[in-house]
Structure 1
Amino acid sequence: MVIPYPPRQKDLETLVQKLGLSKTAPINWNLLNLALTHPTVSPTANYEQLEFVGDAVIRLAVAEFLLESYSELPVGEFAAVRSMLVSDRTLARIAADYGLARYLLVTNSALNDKLGEESRLAESFEAILGALYLSTHDFSLIRPWLDFQLIPLIDEIRTDPARQNYKAALQEWTQAHYKLLPTYRLTESDTSALPHRFTTEVWLQDQCLGQGSGRSIKAAEQAAAQVAFFVVCVPQERDRG
Structure 2
Amino acid sequence: MAQLPPQRQKSLVRLMERLGFSDHAQIRWDLLDLALTHPSISPDRNYEQLEFIGDAVVRLAASEVLYAQYPDEPVGEFAAIRSILVSDRTLAEFAESYNFQKFLLYHGHYENAGLISLLADAFEATLGALFLSTNDLSLVHPWLDEPLKAKAAEIKRDPARQNYKDALQVWTQSEHHTLPTYRVKKNLQSKSEEDFFFAEVWLNETLLASGLGRSKKAAQQAAARQAYERAIAETPQPKH
Same-fold call, TM cutoff 0.5: yes
Give the TM bin, normalised by the shorter chain: 0.5 to 0.7
Residue 92 of structure 2: SS of its match in structure 1?
Answer: helix
Tell me what 2:74 maps to: 74
Q: Could you give the per-residue CA deviations for residues 82-133 of structure 1, whole angstroms, max 9, x where no partner exists?
A: 000000000000000000000000113324x2x4100000000000000000
**Residues 6, 30 of structure 1: 8 Å contact kept:** no
Give the TM-score, by structure 1 length. 0.67
Change (3 A) 1:167 1:196: closer
Partners of 1:196 and 1:98 lie apart in 2 by: 43
1:197 Cα deviation after fit: 3.9
Structure 1 segments, 4+ long, off by >6 Å, are none
Give the TM-score, by structure 2 length. 0.67
- What are the within-5 Å matches in structure 2 for residues 221-236 of structure 1? none
Partners of 2:56 and 2:36 lie apart in 1 by: 18
Tell me what 1:13 maps to: 13
Correspondent of 2:127 among 123, 126, 129 = 129
Tell me what 1:89 maps to: 89
**Residues 69, 149 of structure 2: 8 Å contact kept:** no
**Residues 16, 23 of structure 1: 8 Å contact kept:** no
Structure 1 unpaired stretches of 5+: 170-183, 200-215, 219-241
Tell me what 1:98 maps to: 98
Q: Could you give the per-residue CA deviations for residues 12-45 of structure 1, whole angstroms, max 9, x where no partner exists?
A: 0000010011252300000000000011000010
| 1:57 and 2:43 matched | no
Correspondent of 1:141 among 125, 129, 139 = 139
Partners of 2:104 and 2:135 lie apart in 1 by: 24
**Residues 65, 149 of structure 2: 8 Å contact kept:** no
- What are the within-5 Å matches in structure 2 for residues 101-112 of structure 1? 101-111=101-111
Tell me what 2:34 maps to: 34
Q: Could you give the per-residue CA deviations for residues 136-156 of structure 1, whole angstroms, max 9, x where no partner exists?
A: 000000001100111211111
Identical residues among aligned pairs (%): 54
